[in-house]
Structure 1
Amino acid sequence: MATDRAPKTRPGLIRRVARWFAITVLVLLSVVLLVFMTTPGGRLIALTLNRLGSTAAQSVEIDRIDGLLSGRTRIGHVLLRDTEGEPWLLLKGIQIEWSPLALLSAGLDINDVYIDSVELARLPQGSEDETEAGPLVLPLAFDIKRFSAPDILVGEPVAGRVARFEASGSAKVDASLSTVLADLVVKRTDGVGGEFSLDADYLEEEDRFNISAKLSEPAGGVMAHLLSLAPEDAISLTATSQGSLADWRLNAAGTINDEIVAEANLTMVAGEAGDAVSLQANGAFERFLPPSLSQFVSGRSDVVLEGLIEPERVGAVIDVFTFSSDSLTAEGHGRVAREGQVDLTASVSPRPGAGVLQFGEDASRISLAVPGAKIRVNGNAEAAAVRLEISTGKVTGQEFSADGITAIADFDQFSLATRSGAGSVDVKIDAIGSSSDILARTVAGGVSASGNIAVAEDGSVSSDKLLIESGVASVAIEDVVFNQTDGLAARLSGTLRTAILSAEAPKMLGDDMEFAGVVARDKAGAVTVQDFQLSSEFAKASGGVALGSDGEIAGDIAASLSNPAGLNEAVSGGLNLTATLSGQASAPAFDAKLSGDGLTVQGRDLSDLVLAAKGVADPVSPQANVEVSGTLEGKPINGTVVVARSEGAVRIDPLRLQVADNLISGTLVLDEAFRPKGRVELDLKDIGSLSALALQAVTGRGGGTIDFDVPDSISIADISLAFPELAGEGFSVRDARMNASIADLMGTPKPTGTLEVVALSASGTDVSNLTASFSQADGWTVVDGKAEAAGLPVALNARVRQGDDGTELELETGRTVWKGLAVTLSEPARMVVRDGVANIGKLVISPGGGRVSVTGTAGETLDIDIAISGLPLNSVNAVAPGAGLSGTLSGQVKVGGTVSAPVVSYELNGSG
């Protein structure tokens, strides 16, 4: 016996299409609700329906409505747009012949519905918020005796290519849903061929429910495209039923290229104990399903189900259920119900060598080893014991991987009637990998999660405590509440080893760090973090932040660091930070202050240091006012930087920093591409004081100017600098001068100019009278230099550029003379440096004759081959007078190992 069913809301694309279809049908039927008989009245109703059918996620455009209650209604067109405002469905030339008097009996009697043309360009884009769509309700009984649409155009995104159809049919539904009749035929008319037909009769009084549906398409059909089948596949799907409501049978079959590949037979027989159900299906179902589903039924699949649906749908008894495919097998039996005793056992197991399941596309693609699962339900339905176990060998994504995953949910008392109860969850992951170094260190050695969980009748989920642990971190999530009305709320606390942040973090923060806070996310998407606390041996922080659903942000933080020596041993004392954020997250206003507490840098007293910054971090229109003040060994530190945008440009004016006797000042203007114009002047009388703030130990004096300009849209810097004295650990420079111009600062810098150094000492080597010139030729920077190194004249000509493979360096010529022994570059040499590794293509020198060829790579590890051919041994006499060597040396030398521990092997032969 049929019963009235509450309309069921379908999520996602089906809901959106159903909603649009309902709006379209209601538009076509809206004439029965109108009271105006004039054309202006029809236009008024059209405008009203436009507003009623349009929301932020959808829009309906309805043209004029004529003949409202005349029985011959005409609508110019109906245009539907999706959430992006893009049109996806257009109906033109709608004609309806109907009986207005049928409304008196709460029915709708339509003799004919004719639509001149239909254009389905694509399927609609969904709204982010699908909750606006409610159940689909058709309030009236209707009888559409004839429906026809002779020209239906379907776009390429739907059909794979532009396709044209015609459709005709009829439909009838009574108010009690005891009679439902439908007849529909859709034919393809553009020469490809194909037809879909549906004939369905549900007559409760006659105890009859018959369905006959058939789809047949040649190669290039629409259904093949929607199911992601090969375009050359011709498909046919049929479904027919027979028998009464008490003894109903359905047979379905699918063929591809005239070969039956899948069949299914369903039988439902009514009895006093309920409706007996029998299902048998087998075949290659994957060929009729999209890839996301077909992978579950890969190869040949078989399904057998024998069971009973109890009266009033109280429960179901599964006598036999088996499923098998090339990917997995499943089986189950027992009773599951809303009342009485229940006893259900079911399992899913992967097939040996089943491979992986894949979901998503491109960067979001996830691969999952076919999982296994077990479920056990037993006891009274009001308080049943439910246990679910799931496991999989591996899950991988573009930026992560996880191995050995097991999850168990165990409910001691779970009500199947209300779908509520309390229990526990336990998840273990043996190993996790991540592209994020910090995350990889956090989860190294695996992760476990366990705790209690409760599910309420309204679908809300809560937990007193969930504990997540790894070898270096422990996180407790307490007072968890999640529901559709209020969103998510939880209290977090935990500890972690600071070494997961970086190898230097323990020196700065201490070995361990504790944190706590309250996190919430409401239904609209607003997120708040309150009462945040962080503490370690050397650092403390507190604060909170709120991010609204419309992008607004508000937050504050206070932090202190008592051991900045962890950053650099040259610093001692403490640092304090306060900061606030407000406005929009895309362009937040900020106000921050960093102050020192008993600071010393490089052994110099840094007193009363205050760095204050406020402004708006807007990428389009940045604003900032930065000020620094304090004293360094009693000498003043003052600085100001003001950033503001005006007339399409960002101005930095003033730019000024005074540290003791040093002054850096200037003005810059950045255009829309952030290319600078302006001048920066350097007056550095005491570089030692300035370098101390940079935590460096460099002394000396110097100065000059840097001028920026943008001629012909190319950013250029003209540099004029002179340093009479400059010295630091392991080096010293005297009378150095640079006059250079660097073009294309924002792209690939191209320097031209000169560098002169009277004296340079580095790593025990003295260099004097160094001159170098830089020029540009064919995309290369050409360097021509000469000097005296350790008393030896050195000259070279080289060129360098940034290539696709790294920094390319080519030595054209090179020559030096040592104690009368000439050492020359025999032929041009080439090497490429990338990520700290030099790849030496070939370097050939001739020390007094012969040939020494060097190839290989040099970085943290060494792999260098040296080939020696005909090297005159008398050249050693120039190095070691009196050696008296003669003849030549040939052979191979190989250098491996690391820079700190090289390994040298050789095979050399002397002659003469």
Structure 2
Amino acid sequence: MKTVWRILRIVFYTLLIVVAGAIGALVVLTKTERGRDNLAGIISRLASNDDRKITVSGIDGIWSGALSVDHVVLEDREGAWLVARKVAVDWSPLALLSKNFSADRIAAERIELARLPVASTQPAPSGGTTTLPVSIDIKQIDLPEIALGQQLAGSGIAELAAKGSVKADAAPLAVETVLNITRHDGKQGNVDAKIHFAPADNRLDLDLKASEPAGGIIANLLKLPDTPPVDINVSGTGPLANWNGIGTFSVDGKIVTQLTGRHQLTDKGNHIEAKGDGDFARFLPENLKPLFAGKTSFDIAGTATSAGGVSVDRANIDSDAVHGTATGIVDPAGASDLSVELAAKGPPVVISVGSKAQPITLAISNATARAFGDGKAPIIDVGASFVSIVAGGTRLDDLAAQIHSDGFDIQNRAGPVTVKLEAGGLNTDVATLAPLITGKIDVDLAGSVSKDAIAIDQGTLRSDALNASLTATVALADLSMQLKMNADAVATAFPPQIASVLGARVKFSASAARDPQGSFAANSIEFTSGTLSAAGTASMQGTDIQADIKGKLGDVSVLSPTVGVPVAGGVDFALSASGAMTARDFTVTADSDSLTASGRTVKSIKLTASGKADITSPAANVSLTGSVDDQPLDIKAALVTSEGKRSINGFLVSLGDNKVSGDLALDDKFMPLGTLTLDAPAIDQLAALAGQAITGDIDGTIRFAGDGDAPSVAIDAKSTSIARGEVMAKAITVNALIANYLKAPAISGTIKADSVTSGTTEIGGIGVDLKRDGDWTNFTGGATIAGIPATAAGRVKIADGTTSIEIASGEATVRGIKAAIAQASTLSIA
């Protein structure tokens, strides 16, 4: 027993200490300036959250009955939107002991409302009660200066004043308020409101009047064109069990909208009727205005049942553009059957959704929706017909859409879903995609939806050219994704450059994933068509990529039309890339046991290219080896970028004893500058690579130079002999400069040969002098043909694909007799 009393004494003394501490803390927080500042900080922190910040400063007179606050600032994610300055509350603190907040007067010297607050991202609290914790009696509200910012006022700053009173009883609930708002900045406008709501007395009285001239606040908030004069009247009176109300909205003195409402308390619940007509379009967002074009009327009647359901007896809406109806019942605790229909009266209704930067234009013919069955998880059918849907450069025509769920959990927003889309056609400005989606388009998706994820268990896409299937899951919280896809398309739907190496159809499959951080990976990529096949992986993390692809082209003969000569054989290839997308490292390899072109075979081919694909500083090393007629083939080059300048170093083409080698720089227009050396004692080997049958030898140099927009090439070469077919030239020397060789070649220099034979005809002592004359090349020359000496002079010009030849003079001596052309002649070859 002593132990019990000892424990009770300890508890009693502890309570005394706690109470004494609480009283002391309360005195410190309310009676000292520092304490009041701390109290203001505590209140500010308790009232704030991630989306809202409230700052209270300068609290005084808490227990005196004359409470004052220097200022209160309300902020959201975009900053401060309301400031109340010099707030004064004349109240009775002791009245709180009887659960009453009683104030003779609440006033603020000035309130500044810059804009409306942005919507909170915090979830709204669920549940709760409609009763008040305390009764409220504020006999006078006095706000002499309310400043509205330009976003609300429309232009400049609007100055208002507000007076009123509020009385609200907690139990039984009853509310009575009077409010008057007027402008005092030289402009007219006022709002008068009286509300008396007493459920226990079965009473609701409502009287609201608002009037503003042109350029007013209400017209600006409603975004009415030219901000016309506005008048609003809403009134209603009577018992709650049989209450009637009416509202009118007038613009420029004319009633544009009129609403009537009725509430009745029945044995089934609260029955509500509402009717209205008017020009509602002007009050709606721009993208919804087409639905309510012209005069719009509505007629709604339904009952909010005591079980928590809603029974819709009728819900009709008509405008010049659409007719809509709804009827049925929604009962979460029982059975539901609600149907909604919306149809265009004439042409399809065109509305725009999406953003201003990326609008999506819908041309709607009709839409239907039905929910029936278990009220908690009803069967849902939604259908819609669109004449067209346009987004950017893509247009979908004659679309029929259907959505079905065998049981969709309304509260948890989860359930199975199937989607079926049928379109008459799809047009797009994406050139590579357009051929794949020609003709009729069918899309079928089956899966499920929940608050956490969307799953596609089976999906198909079909067009005249494409059959595709997919499965996918997407987490809504972080957009992580798993995707598998298979596709089968006709080869003719691909660009001609690619289609030439494909078979009749192309098959593609891949699995892909996106992690919560946004990294993307495509695994098990496979591509097959004809003798072409490829497989590999690819991934992207931020701006970095990683790719590895290996494949085979079993028959290169499909490339014959592209390269211009018959080719045969097969090639294995591989590609790898890694690093930043704008400067990725890459390696490309290709191998072939044997390739044949124009009857010439190259064996043991191995191509390797590696480097960095950086548009500002590219680099690459290229090597190709093989053998032709047991002669080694070796081609090498290195692309180097140093201090912003590009060059090709170590360029080499070697076949047997024949070589072309040198170093070239590239100017800003990627034109070559430098010298290549030719050393070809047996040019038949090199010519065969180009599909030509030429024998002989040649050695010399080719010098590339730049001259502004007219680059030039100088050729200094000689040959013991060159032969093609029956034609053979011996002791050839060429010393020529070709100016502007890309656009309008003009040649200067000399060309000589000891002899040229063709069959039994022999030409000897050939010599031609060339001189540049602007865009023209002047020529003079002579030769002995079958023992007959001859000379000629003229000029040649090559421009815009046409060769123009002017022969100024020509003569020959036959058996001592000279013969000459009578007059100059001209010849053009296009």
Name the TM-score, length of structure 2 as normaliser: 0.70
**2:370 matches 1:370:** no
SS in structure 2 at match of 1:510: coil
**2:501 partner SS:** helix
Q: CA deviation at 1:641?
A: 3.6
Q: Which of 610, 619, 626 matches 1:612? A: 610
In structure 1, which of residues 414, 427, 452 is the aligned counterpart of residue 446 of structure 2?
A: 452
| Cα displacement string for residues 495-553 of structure 1 (whole angstroms, at most 9, x for unaligned residues) | 122322212323223332222233445666554433333333343344444555xx365
Return closer, same or farther for 1:150/1:704 CA change in 2, 3 Å cut-off. farther
Distance 1:591 1:233, change over 3 A: same
Answering whether residue 573 of structure 2 is matched by residue 576 of structure 1, we say yes
Matched, 1:324 2:318: yes
2:470 corresponds to 1:474: no
Change (3 A) 1:485 1:630: closer
Contact 1:426 1:449 in 2 (8 A): yes
Q: 1:371 to 1:225 in 2, by over 3 A?
A: farther
1:404-428 superposed Cα distances (whole Å, 9 cap, x missing partner):
1111223445566766544533210
Deviation at 1:466, TM superposition (A): 1.7
Q: In 1, Cα distance between the equivalents of 2:448 and 2:98?
A: 51
| Structure 1 residues 495-514: aligned runs within 5 Å | 495-514=488-507
Cα-to-partner distance string for 1:667-714 (whole Å, 9 max, x where unaligned): 789xxxxx7999943425379999999999999975435579xxxxxx
Shift of 1:596: 3.5
Identity percentage of aligned residues: 16
Match of 2:250 in 1: 255
Report the Cα offset of residue 309 of structure 1: 1.7
- Alignment counterpart, residue 74 of structure 1, candidates 70, 79, 88: 70
* 2:262 corresponding residue in structure 1: 267
Q: Is the 8 A contact 1:407 1:428 kept in 2?
A: yes
1:227 Cα deviation (Å)? Answer: 3.9
> Number of matched residues?
715
Q: 1:52 and 1:689 mapped to 2: Cα distance?
A: 92
- Among 485, 490, 497, the alignment partner of 1:492 is 485
Q: SS where residue 500 of structure 2 aligns?
A: helix
Q: Which residue of 1 aligns with 2:241?
A: 246
The letter of the residue matching 2:469 is: A
C-alpha spacing 1:297/1:741, structure 2 compared with 1 (3 Å): same
Corresponding letter in the other structure for 1:343: D
Between the aligned partners of 1:33 and 1:465, the Cα distance in structure 2 is: 69
1:311 aligns with 2:306: yes
Q: Choose 426-435 or 287-296, whichever is displaced more.
A: 287-296
CA distance in 1, matches of 2:77, 2:414: 41
Question: Could you tell me which residue of structure 2 aligns to residue 288 of structure 1?
Answer: 283
CA contact (8 A) 2:84 2:108 kept: no
1:43-87 per-position Cα deviation (integer Å, ceiling 9, x unaligned): 9976996999696xx7969696565968322248666663xxxx5
SS at match of 1:303: strand
Alignment of 1:223-238 (within 5 A): 223-231=218-226, 233-238=228-233
In the alignment, the residues of structure 2 paired with residue 46 and residue 692 of structure 1 have an alpha-carbon distance, to the nearest angstrom, of: 91
Q: Using the TM superposition, give the Cα deviation of residue 312 of structure 1 relative to its aligned residue in structure 2, in angstroms.
A: 3.5
Contact kept? 1:404, 1:429, Cα under 8 Å: yes
Alignment of 1:419-568 (within 5 A): 420-422=414-416, 424-456=418-450, 458=451, 460-478=453-471, 480=473, 483-484=476-477, 488-521=481-514, 527-547=520-540, 551=542, 553=544, 555-562=546-553, 566=558, 568=562
- Residue in 1 that maps onto 2:788: none
Name the aligned partner's letter for residue 258 of structure 1: G
Q: Is the Cα contact below 8 Å between 1:632 and 1:689 reproduced in 2?
A: no
Task: Provide the rounded CA distance (Å) in 2 between the counterparts of 1:51 and 1:565.
Answer: 79
**For the Cα contact (< 8 Å) 1:235–1:256, is it kept in 2?**
yes
SS state at 2:435 partner: helix
Secondary structure, in 3 states, of the residue corresponding to 2:215?
Answer: coil
Distance change (3 Å), C-alpha of 1:793 and 1:623: closer
Distance change (3 Å), C-alpha of 1:478 and 1:362: closer
Distance 1:417 1:177, change over 3 A: farther
Partner residue in 2 for 1:299: 294
1:292 partner amino acid: N
Q: From the superposition, tell whether residues 344 and 236 of structure 1 become closer, same or farther in structure 2 (CA, over 3 Å).
A: same
Looking at structure 1, the residues matched to 369 and 507 of structure 2 have their Cα atoms a distance apart, in angstroms, of 39
Q: Give me the whole-angstrom Cα distance separating, in 2, the residues matched to 1:177 and 1:470.
A: 67
Aligned partners of 2:693, 2:175: CA distance in 1, in Å?
92
Q: Which amino acid aligns with 2:444?
A: S
Structure 1 residue 637, shift from structure 2 partner = 3.1
Q: Secondary structure at the match of 2:346?
A: coil
Answer whether contact 1:63 1:78 (CA < 8 A) is retained.
Answer: no
Alpha-carbon deviation of 1:286? 0.8
Displacement after TM superposition at 1:475 (Å): 1.4
Distance of aligned partners of 1:691 and 1:433 in 2 relative to their CA distance in 1, 3 Å threshold: farther
- In structure 2, what is the equivalent of residue 133 of structure 1? 122
2:486 partner letter: S
Residue 610 of structure 1 and its aligned partner are, at CA, apart by 0.8
- Give the aligned partner of residue 141 of structure 2: 146
For residues 202 and 61 of structure 1, the distance between their equivalents in structure 2, rounded to whole angstroms, comes to 31
Q: Which amino acid aligns with 1:529?
A: A
Q: Structure 1 residues 488 and 817, CA, compared in 2 at 3 Å: closer, same or farther?
A: closer
Structure 2 alignment gaps of length 5 or more = 1-25, 725-732, 752-767, 782-791, 810-822
Structure 1 letter corresponding to 2:592: D
Separation of aligned partners in 2, 1:189 and 1:213: 20
Contact 1:227 1:290 in 2 (8 A): no
The whole-number CA distance in structure 1 between the counterparts of 2:59 and 2:260 is: 50
Unaligned runs of 5+ in 1: 1-30, 670-674, 709-715, 743-750, 761-766, 774-783, 801-814, 821-876, 881-899, 901-912
CA contact (8 A) 1:328 1:348 kept: yes
* Residue range with higher mean Cα deviation, 464-473 or 414-423: 414-423
The superposition leaves residues 599-633 of structure 1 with CA deviations (integer Å, 9 ceiling, x where unpaired) of: 75965748332111247x5x8xx666532223365
Aligned-pair CA distance for 1:395: 1.8
| Residue 722 (structure 1) aligns with | 714
Q: Is the contact made by 2:300 and 2:315 (CA closer than 8 Å) also made in structure 1?
A: yes
**8 Å CA contact 1:224, 1:235 repeated in 2:** yes
Contact 1:117 1:150 in 2 (8 A): yes
Question: SS at 1:437's partner residue?
Answer: coil
Aligned partner (choices 112, 116, 119) of residue 118 of structure 1: 112
Cα distance 1:652–1:491, how it changes in 2: closer, same or farther (>3 A)? same
Q: Which residue of 2 aligns with 1:336?
A: 330
The AA in structure 2 aligned to 1:506 is A
SS where residue 504 of structure 1 aligns? helix
TM-score (norm 1): 0.64
8 Å CA contact 2:29–2:38 kept in 1: the answer is no
Identify which range, 476-485 or 256-265, moves more after superposition: 476-485
Q: Distance in 2 between matches of 1:181 and 1:696?
A: 102
- Give CA-to-partner distance per residue, 1:743-766, whole Å, 9 cap, x none: xxxxxxxx9x99535699xxxxxx
What do you get for the CA RMSD once the two structures are aligned?
5.4
CA 642–258 in structure 1, closer or farther in 2 if over 3 Å, else same: same
Check conservation: 1:140, 1:175, Cα contact below 8 A.
yes
Contact 1:69 1:100 in 2 (8 A): no
The range that moved more, 340-349 or 424-433, is 340-349
| Matching residue of 1:161 | 155
CA contact (8 A) 1:123 1:158 kept: no
